[in-house]
Amino acid sequence: MVKLELWVPQAVRDDVRAAVRAIVTDSTRGPTLAARPRRPTSQAITPGETHQMDAVIETPWTVPAIRDALDASSLTREGELSLRVIEGADPVLLATMHEYGDLPIYLSVGGAQIVCSVLLWPVAEQADAAAFNEFLLKAQRVVPLSNFAITTVGDQDVYELMGELSSKTTLQTILIELRTLAENAIEATALRETFAA
């Protein structure tokens, strides 16, 4: 073990602690895990010794596995979110983010990636959609780690905010993505108001 000190803003202290705890103790939760081969170091390594930081997920996540792991994890805060699998041709996880006004985030797994998305508002409701789309592309850095898209729901186009992850990522990273996407959805609403002004 190595002691590491970080200076972080007070507002994110609990999130950083949870992330560090997850890296050190919880990263091995989830699908089948295996230790990466280690490079030789000046220190002897005990044969069979496991190193939590070197854990990688060998088996891709499934939607039910993500739900079960998040339900059982100590990484989530009490009352932070509710999870429900929506069955269909491909199951989708609906994560209701209670700390963000019950914001619904949809998570799906396909091939090598996990896609998380938030539906924002119908394109038809956006004054001067072409100018707004250009504005979004220029403002992309305001919502880091997320992408804007337009998707069709029923018979109408809807703005969507989304993020992608490897299907072999850690549970901690999935939770960070859900939180980041929720925060960015709030920022997207602020961007809409800025454009209108």
| E strand or H helix at 32 | none
Q: Percent of the chain beyond pLDDT 90?
A: 45
Residue pair 164/180 in contact (Cβ under 8 Å)? The answer is no
Q: pTM here?
A: 0.68
**Residues 66-75: what's their mean pLDDT?**
92
* Confidence at 120, pLDDT banded by 50, 70, 90: very high
* pLDDT value, residue 22: 57
* pLDDT value, residue 67: 95
DSSP of 61-123: --HHHHHHHHHH-SSSPTTSEEEEEE-SSS-EEEEEEGGGTSEEEEEEEETTEEEEEEEEEEG
